[in-house]
Amino acid sequence: MKDCALLTVISGFAGSGKGSAMKGLLAKYPDTYALSVSATTRAPRPGEVDGREYFFVSDEAFEEKIRTGALLEHAGYVGHYYGTPRAYVEDNLAAGKDVLLEIEIQGALQIKKQFPAACLLFLTPPTAEELKRRLVGRGTEDEETIRKRLFRASEEADGIEQYDYLVVNDDLDTCVETIHRIIQSEKKRITRCLDTINTIREGVHAFSEI
């Protein structure tokens, strides 16, 4: 019997390694997970491909998506819009895939309101110093953007208690496996398995009627 699909939100400070963790999860369990590709108005970084990392759109196109209800949630982050396309998430959940949203905290809380059964994970590097080192080290942002992202990290740090799980990303493989186990265990909660329980219960009750 198939468990019902779970919607999981993964947030974390810039430099927490969320992107690598998502890639690792998809590479290891390609049939289990579907990672939503967000729309954003920020410019692509070197190596990023439209439709793979993000759908890179203009402000006008993004605002049109908001107006037409094409986004499940959206938020502003360091001067740009980011949002989750609705159709992909709904279609993949309906197809039984565990859908992953790699989004920031405002979006995560909007999702929790719309999907109270969603599971919220927060990813963090082992220390604040390591976070800064990773953010500066990846060399994809100028100094001002790094400063803004560190400021945003300090705001996000105050919201961590609103998440369900904390994952410390010390080692990438361990982190990927921890996220996988959390999601798959979460799906075994009694409250998420009521259809299965009812089917088994009916079958068992039928024995006592013989």
Nearer to ligand 5GP, 61 or 197 (CB): 61
Q: Token pair of 27, please? A: 């590479």
38 binds ligand 5GP per the rule CB under 6 A: yes
92 binds ligand 5GP per the rule CB under 6 A: no
Q: Quote the CA–CA distance of 44 and 30 in Å, as a whole number.
A: 25
* Stretch of 20-28, 62-70, 100-108, 175-183 contacting ligand 5GP, by CB under 6 A: 100-108
Q: Token pair of 10, please? A: 């993964």
Q: Whole-number minimum distance, CB 18 to ligand 5GP, in Å? A: 6
103 binds ligand 5GP per the rule CB under 6 A: yes
DSSP labels, 161-207:
GGSSEEEE-SSHHHHHHHHHHHHHHHTT-GGG-HHHHHHHHHHHHHH
Cα–Cα distances (Å) from 139 to 24, 130, 136, 142, in that order, read: 21, 15, 6, 8
- In the stretch 151-190, what mask flags binding to ligand 5GP with x, by CB under 6 A? ----------------------------------------
Footprint on this chain of ligand 5GP (rule: CB under 6 A):
14, 38, 42, 73, 75, 77, 82-84, 102-104, 106-107
